[in-house]
Chains A and B, each alone.
Chain A
Amino acid sequence: MSLAAYEAHLPSLSGRVRAVTPVDEVGLVERAASFATRSIKAESKAAALDLVVRCIDLTTLEGTDTPQKVRALCAKALQGDPFLSRVPPVAAVCVYPALVGVAATELAGSTVKVASVAGSFPAGLGPLSVRLEEIRLAVAEGADEIDIVLNRAAFLAGDYGRAFDEIVAAKEAAESAHLKVILETGELGSYDQIRRASMLAMSAGADFIKTSTGKIGTSATPPTALCMAEAIRDHAEVSGEMIGLKLAGGIRSAKAAWQYLVLIQETLGAAWLDPNYLRFGASSLLNDVLMQMARQASGRYQRPTDFSAD
């Protein structure tokens, strides 16, 4: 499908405006930076730390992942720190399909979801039938959420129809599991493309759009998050659907996380400040948040080694 044909497919904004509006990089970057200058109330900060934990997809996606490693991660997901009570469980544990069963067993009965990457993560270039089968298997093993990648090869080649249809098929294969579509924004080349890919993924049925795989150098950045949040707002305006945003990779500090909260609140509204609509795909972020929580409670910073590695 050509771009024009594809975009004609999308409902327009307010009846008249093109669905995918252009993005000016300079203005976007400037606006994204401005959120970092907001100063948040101390009580709000405590609640923000709590929210960040509840929005974390605690992730391990290494070739070296073993059942034991995943069990440890699940324990951490349920109880971030033994000395800080009332640390809420994280949103989900995110693993490769082969380890979904282990995570599902460990997390059974808890509120923590099992998320699995699937569909030839991270490139997404396996045969479609194999990719869909991988999704089905992950769901059968107990995955509540499926993270797939956008077919960047199709998208960048201008075959938007194929990229779109594959997401539709993935959504079908995932059945009731939540589908997160990773755009791998660092490979799309421009914010215009990120905006376009966001609209494409959402209209194809993504429950969440996600920035990155964490497997390339560039991952979530404030301008990328802003660009995607603006697309989510546009989609909500047209369809009434609230699509979630998952920021993955590169978010390591509590401060960075709550600057994203400001960005989302001012762009999408407070309704999006909720694990159903916001996730942080991260591994080291949790310990920094715990460290901030401990500081808020005791007034002092602990050593990094005082927190469990996983």
Chain B
Amino acid sequence: MTSRSQEPTYLTMTTPEASHPEFNLEYAAAPESTPPVPIEEENRLYINGEWVAPNNGEWFTTYNPATAQALARVAQGSEVDIDRAVLAATNAAAEWAAWPGSERAKVLFRVARVLAERAREFAVLETMDGGKPIKESRDFDLPQASAHFFYYAGWADKLVYAFGGQKHQPRGVVAQIIPWNFPLLMAAWKLAPALATGNTVVLKPAETTSLSALALVRVLEEAGVPPGVVNVVTGPGETGAALVNHPGVQKIAFTGSTAVGKEIQRATAARPVGLTLELGGKAANIVFEDAALDQAVEGVINGIFFNQGHVCSAGSRLLVQESIADHFIERLKARMATLRVGDPLDKNTDIGAINSPQQLEKIKTLVAAGVTEGADLYQSEVSLPTEGWFYPPSIFTNVALSHRVAQEEIFGPVLSILTFRTAEEAIEKANNTAYGLSAGVWTEKGSRILWMADRLRAGVVWANTFNRFDPTSPFGGVKESGFGREGGRAGLAPYVQLGAMWGES
């Protein structure tokens, strides 16, 4: 007999049929464990390949948005630190630019590989510092970050083919200021093309999410990026301002709010400095009556609730054809009921924590304004965690174009729903915004997709999908969403001087 017959005792597991007439699967808390993630108590500045304390001795605290607990202290870079960083980048520039492209490629390929290998560790860190659900940092941020390095590594020794045979030179010292919504991925978007083209960099991460950029620096070091080629100065907006105003900088790449983007443009007026801005958005997701409705519901959900709506390209305005509006909104509500809001480290979590109390306040203020202005607010019934900064998935119906919630970027899980009757009206409403970053069109009619794409004033138009990114595809805005492109071959252009001498712009 087998050992099984000697132990006929495991008889207690199932419940009899009658006891669960209505069965309901419950999802387990499946949190990623945090111990393998090294978070240092004190995070210094990275200048010229060294970890240095801030000149003025000031530090600030970074928090875990899901718990509101302090995670670590981060150095607050001052003007002096920025000056040192720019000097280091300047000194490293000539040698790095002289590296054969194939050697720079090797380094970047290594970065891509290490990021992929250490993806779990980085994903947990990103989620702890930023609040996004682990399933997004694991399945989106990390693979995309790695893919960006991989993609631009491929260009590093083929730049001559990128610009139609024109002579090209790196710009020199590049200032890069990145936002808090995709901290690591935005660092990758900025660093990969800059390094592939032979520039040196001073990177300023967002104040609330500095840790993954600092962790990335260790990977760059390990991969063989020489000292001074990448420098990271952490700090608040003033640190960024000092970097922008530094005369040693030849190019500025900024991703963030439109208000700050405008300040930067003012500050750089009449200076020989290249500038690209990737700013806010108020994207329209346009659903026609002939669309694949279930997938459109999914796309609208993903469009606005991805990363708690902290996405500059978020589909924060739904334009739905009036003939299907009631039905579609009911479906949206039903789908919202299945969204799980909570611990971002839990693999079952769909919507994580709001990045900061300031952002939470901003969302609350704008939602209150929407209610005051007469739009109807619907929030799915979710029990939010008692600690940390959370906001429930929300939609506004009966929104008018004149409402603030139809015009202002909320940057949270709040969708404003408007209706339209004809394609012309959809275009008019979609374009009736100061922004122009992205848009989505949902229809089964191919010719209508092309007709719409021709008329939408947006840098990116997605057809029957939303928030889909790829390193090979240029991304950027028009109007107050900024200018310049990141990703693809177009993403190389801002980082080179074509057929010109150094310093010219």
Contact = CB atoms under 8 A, between A and B. Distances in A.
B13 A39 contact: no
A17 B324 contact: yes
B27 interface: yes
Contact of B292 (A22, A258, A270): A22
A85 interface: yes
Interface in A26-56: 26-28, 30-31, 37-44, 46-51, 54
> Chain A interface mostly helix, strand, loop or mixed?
helix
A51 B23 CA distance: 8
A86 B13 contact: yes
B447 interface: no
A23 B295 contact: yes
B4 A83 contact: yes
A46 B14 contact: yes
A270 to B, nearest CB: 4
> Chain B interface mostly helix, strand, loop or mixed?
loop
Interface residues on B, range: 35 or more
Name, among A41, A261, A266, A302, the residue most crowded by chain B CB atoms within 10 Å (CB to CB): A41
Contacts of B295: 23-24, 26-28, 31
Interface string B279-314: 000000000011111111011000000000000000
B28 A87 contact: no
Contact of B25 (A13, A86, A273, A274): A273
A217 B328 CA distance: 36
Given A86-B11, A296-B13, A21 B27 contact: no
A23 B25 contact: no
B323 A88 contact: no
A86 B464 contact: no
Contacts of B324: 16-17
Nearest to B139: A37
A23 B296 CA distance: 9
A250 B190 CA distance: 45
Given A22-B290, A27-B298, A297 B12 contact: yes
B381 interface: no
B454 interface: no
Contact of A22 (B7, B22, B291): B291
Contacts of A62: none
Contact of A273 (B16, B24, B27): B24
Contacts of A24: 292, 295-296, 444, 464
Contact of A21 (B7, B14, B293, B465): B293
State the 10 A-B residue pairs at the shortest beta-carbon distance, nearest first: A297-B10, A27-B295, A39-B30, A24-B292, A14-B327, A24-B295, A41-B28, A50-B14, A22-B292, A85-B11
